[in-house]
């Protein structure tokens, strides 16, 4: 081989993607639409993304002994997701993630009413939110980008919103990049709603996982899980995760906030400057040694301890998803932000671009 060919070979190898991306069929929706599954595989992690709901279907990661397991709750086909009420397994939630009180907000003096799907409130975009849409997708270097156009008035929200979600995998880091534009003043907040169990999906409990949150404050909720508007200190409360703490250590305490949510389902205020990528959470499973770190540019993170999983769904391994068999760490703007001027704004103007980045990093610990 000539010197020139050697140089070209080395340059080609160095520029080759470190992640292999493949596309396969994931089933068919009731309207006949085909759903694709994109598999992102690096030397350390495999992530599977479906176009239906732009959702994370599975993530394979090694434990401390090198044993690989799927650590995300989900199903093996889109048809299984369509059976019964979906608890937002792995979805991109939008156009507004989390809750809006009474589904109402005011922009430029005009009151908007969104669809209600959580008692008196709107949850994760309403009755037909982004999680129930089949997104358009195309392969990008090391990943996949999904696109959805939400028309003016969709679920009651103003403006035609064009949203893009890009998943890329590099080694042990899965990055999610969200962007959105609008043709009219609107509100937007997007997140991913993956349920994790670092012992492996189908394991019955996450209560022994050890959680650390980079947050000194949180937003208390009322009886319908809507923030009161207070930004409260976590000192001397069951919401203090500034030091590594078992999820189940204080979840059963006689605390009004815990009673209201049947456990943890609250928004914490992430330290540091919103808009900069920084560590928000770390959770460790002593059984497997797996560690998940969550970095975000968002001002908040919702820790949900799977309180409303009820065993009605059977997952990929054949085990039912029972109460507290999975947890979510949802990077976000604060819930009900449009109704609280003291919360970071979720308004998006025509001509501006909404941007948000979240990283999931998977490691192990002895």
Q: What average pLDDT score do residues 1-11 get? A: 37
Give dist(CA 53, CA 77) in Å, integer: 13
Alpha-carbon gap, residue 94 to 79, rounded angstroms: 22
C-alpha 108/C-alpha 99 separation (Å) is 21
User: For residues 106 and 9, which has the higher predicted lDDT (pLDDT)?
Assistant: 106
33 Cβ partners below 8 Å, 6+ apart? 134
Active site residue 333: no
Please state whether 287 falls in left (phi above 0), alpha (psi between -120 and 50) or beta. Answer: alpha
CB-CB contact of 293 with 177 (8 Å): no
Instruction: Please say if the pLDDT value at position 1 is more than 70.
Output: no
Strands of 354-364's sheet in order across = 136-140, 143-150, 161-170, 173-182, 354-364, 290-296, 278-284, 210-213, 245-246
Q: Which of 193, 209, 266, 333 is catalytic?
A: 193
Inside any domain, residue 51: yes
Strand partners, 146: 137, 165
The answer to whether residue 184 sits within a structural domain is: yes
**CATH code: domain of residue 248:** 2.70.98.10
For the entire predicted model, the pTM comes to 0.95
Report the DSSP pairing between strands 354-364 and 300-304: unpaired
> How many domains would you assign to the chain?
1
Asked if residue 58 belongs to a domain, the reply is yes
The answer to whether residues 227 and 334 touch, using CB atoms and an 8 Å cutoff, is yes
Residue 53: give the domain boundaries.
21-364
- pLDDT at position 38: 98
Residue 141 burial (10 A CB sphere; 0-12, 13-18, 19+): exposed
Percentage of the residues of the chain whose pLDDT score is greater than 90: 95
Q: What is the pLDDT of residue 9?
A: 33
Contact 90, 106 (CB under 8 A): no
pLDDT tens digit sequence for 321-352: 999 999 999 999 999 999 999 999 999 999 99
Residue 14 lies in a domain: no
- Is residue 73 included in any domain, yes or no? yes
pLDDT band, residue 15 (cuts 50/70/90)? very low
Pairing of β 245-246 and β 290-296: unpaired
Convert the pLDDT of each residue in 190-246 to its tens digit.
Answer: 999 999 999 999 999 999 999 999 999 999 999 999 999 999 999 999 999 999 999
Average pLDDT, the chain: 95
Segment 149-176 mean pLDDT: 98
Structural domain contains residue 205: yes
Q: Which residue would you say has higher pLDDT here, 2 or 298?
A: 298
Beta bridge partners of 82: none
Q: Which residues contact 291 (CB under 8 A, 6 or more apart)?
A: 198, 282, 283, 284, 285, 362, 363, 364, 365
Say yes or no to pLDDT of 3 above 90: no
Fill in the DSSP letter of residue 334.
P
For residue range 87-136, list pLDDT tens digits in order.
999 999 999 999 999 999 999 999 999 999 999 999 999 999 999 999 99
Beta strands in 42-197 (DSSP E): 46-50, 55-62, 68-70, 92-93, 99-100, 104-107, 110-113, 122-123, 136-140, 143-150, 161-170, 173-182, 186-187, 191-192
For residue 10, being part of any structural domain is answered with no
Contact 306, 288 (CB under 8 A): no
101, 121 contact by CB (below 8 A): yes
Would you say residue 5 lies in a domain?
A: no
**Which two tokens mark 153?**
């008035």
Running DSSP on this structure, what letter comes out for residue 189? B
Q: What is the pLDDT of residue 12?
A: 34
Residue 54 pLDDT = 99
- State the catalytic residue, choosing from 201, 266, 330, 333: 330
Residue 168 near residue 95 (C-beta atoms within 8 A): no
pLDDT confidence of 8, banded at 50, 70, 90?
A: very low
pLDDT value for 17? 57
Is residue 330 annotated as part of the catalytic site, yes or no?
yes
pLDDT > 90? residue 2: no
Averaged pLDDT for residues 150-166: 98
């Amino acid at each position: 081989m000539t010197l020139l060919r050697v140089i070209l070979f080395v340059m080609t190898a160095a520029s080759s993607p470190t992640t292999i991306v493949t596309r396969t069929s994931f089933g068919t929706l009731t309207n006949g639409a085909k759903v694709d599954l994109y598999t992102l595989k690096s030397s350390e992690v495999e992530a599977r993304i479906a176009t239906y709901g732009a959702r994370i279907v599975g993530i394979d990661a090694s434990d401390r002994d090198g044993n690989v397991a799927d650590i995300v709750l989900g199903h093996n086909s889109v048809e299984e997701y369509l059976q019964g009420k979906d608890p937002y397994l792995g979805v991109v939630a939008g156009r507004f993630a989390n809750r809006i009180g009474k589904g109402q907000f005011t922009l430029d003096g005009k009151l908007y009413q969104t669809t209600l799907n959580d008692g008196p409130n709107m949850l994760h975009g309403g009755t037909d939110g982004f999680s129930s849409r089949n997104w358009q997708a195309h392969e990008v270097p090391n990943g996949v980008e999904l696109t959805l156009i939400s028309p003016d008035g969709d679920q009651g929200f103003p403006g035609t919103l064009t949203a893009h979600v890009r998943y890329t995998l590099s080694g042990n880091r899965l990055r999610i990049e969200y962007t959105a534009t609008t043709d009219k003043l609107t509100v937007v907040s997007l997140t991913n709603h993956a349920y994790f169990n670092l012992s492996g999906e189908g394991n019955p409990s996450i209560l022994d996982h050890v959680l650390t949150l980079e947050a000194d404050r949180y937003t208390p909720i009322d009886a319908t899980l809507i923030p009161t508007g207070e930004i409260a200190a976590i000192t001397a409360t069951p919401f203090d995760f500034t030091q590594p703490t078992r999820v189940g250590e204080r979840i059963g305490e006689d605390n009004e906030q815990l009673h209201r949510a049947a456990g943890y389902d609250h928004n914490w205020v992430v330290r540091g400057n919103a808009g900069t990528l920084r560590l928000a959470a770390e959770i460790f499973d002593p059984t497997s040694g797996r560690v998940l770190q969550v970095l975000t540019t968002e001002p908040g993170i919702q820790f949900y301890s799977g309180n409303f999983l009820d065993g009605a769904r059977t997952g990929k391994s054949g085990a039912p998803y029972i109460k507290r068999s999975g947890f979510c760490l949802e990077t976000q703007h604060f819930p009900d932000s449009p109704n609280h001027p003291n919360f970071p704004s979720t308004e998006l103007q025509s001509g501006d671009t909404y941007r948000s980045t979240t990283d999931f990093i998977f490691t192990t610990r002895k």
